[in-house]
């Protein structure tokens, strides 16, 4: 069984929105590797605390952590980019972990939240025969629940997705913070903000490619 953490980047609004596309990423962790993976991420956060003063309890929320602020959580932009790079390298070292991303260009005719969840679930179901438990950040929980229950019951093998998606506060989940970073980087590759335009990020995106496959664009 896989534990699949899911988060988005970009708001779902089709009008008056600063983003033109919506990205939804997953981070799959085999259940028998979960404890070791969490131990590794906790150790990583302890090193960041000792080396940079980044508190273990501080949430690495990518939109803020890699936004344009001169200082955030006491770190300069280049330091924050290094933390993101080191986190991706840590994920690359975790046995059996994999990440997938789907993207949808927004328009008034499409519900990008439901469409992206269906697209990502379809992609994941085609890649594995192992049952999955889906775990998402808070927000849009009722839309996601209804979408996934209807889609699972009508289109997927009953045993592939167990229960409805579970929702957790990302402040208390290293894994949700990590998949949030992956989704954000997938968007920044297409639409970089000032921090990414002003800094060398080739190494960061090379590390992303070792963890995540390219965006699968949905129609």
Q: What is the model's pLDDT at position 158?
A: 63
Q: Parse the chain into domains and list their residue ranges.
A: 2-218
pLDDT value at residue 3 = 97
Task: Give the other-Cβ count within 10 Å of 7's Cβ.
Answer: 27
Give the other-Cβ count within 10 Å of 171's Cβ. 13
pLDDT tens sequence for the chain (219 residues): 999 999 999 988 877 777 889 999 999 999 999 999 999 999 999 999 999 999 999 999 999 999 878 999 999 999 999 999 999 999 999 999 999 999 999 887 889 999 999 999 999 988 888 899 999 998 778 889 999 888 887 877 667 888 889 999 999 999 999 999 999 999 999 989 888 988 889 999 999 999 999 999 998
SS3 (DSSP) at 4: strand
Q: Go through 174-201 and write b for each residue having 16 or more CB atoms within 10 A of its CB, e for each that does not.
A: bbbbbbbbbbbbbbbbeeeeebbeeeeb
- State the pLDDT at residue 169: 95
Bridge partners of 23, per DSSP, are 9, 103
**Whole-prediction pTM:** 0.95
Q: Is the dihedral angle over the CA atoms 184, 190, 194, 195 positive or is it negative?
A: positive
The CATH code of the domain at 2-218 is 3.30.420.10
CB burial of residue 70 (10 Å; 0-12, 13-18, 19+): exposed
């Amino acid at each position: 069984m896989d534990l699949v953490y899911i988060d988005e980047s970009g708001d779902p609004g089709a009008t008056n929105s600063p983003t033109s596309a919506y990205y939804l990423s997953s981070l799959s962790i085999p259940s028998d590797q979960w404890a070791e993976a969490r131990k590794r991420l906790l150790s990583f956060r302890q090193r960041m605390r000792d080396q940079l003063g980044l508190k273990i309890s501080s949430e690495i929320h990518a939109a803020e952590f890699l936004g344009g602020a001169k200082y955030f959580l006491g770190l300069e932009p280049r330091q924050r980019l290094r933390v993101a790079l080191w986190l991706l390298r840590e994920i690359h070292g975790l046995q059996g972990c994999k990440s997938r991303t789907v993207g949808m260009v927004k328009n008034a005719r499409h519900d990008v939240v439901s469409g992206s969840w269906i697209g990502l679930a379809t992609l994941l179901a085609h890649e594995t025969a192992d049952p999955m438990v889906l775990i998402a950040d808070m927000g849009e929980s009722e839309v996601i629940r209804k979408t996934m229950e209807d889609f699972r019951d009508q289109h997927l093998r009953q045993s592939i997705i167990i229960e409805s998606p579970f929702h957790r506060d990302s402040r208390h989940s290293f894994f949700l913070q990590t998949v949030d970073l992956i989704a954000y980087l997938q968007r920044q590759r297409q639409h970089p903000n000032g921090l990414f335009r002003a800094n060398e990020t080739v190494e960061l995106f090379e590390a992303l490619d070792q963890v995540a496959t390219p965006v699968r664009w949905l129609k």
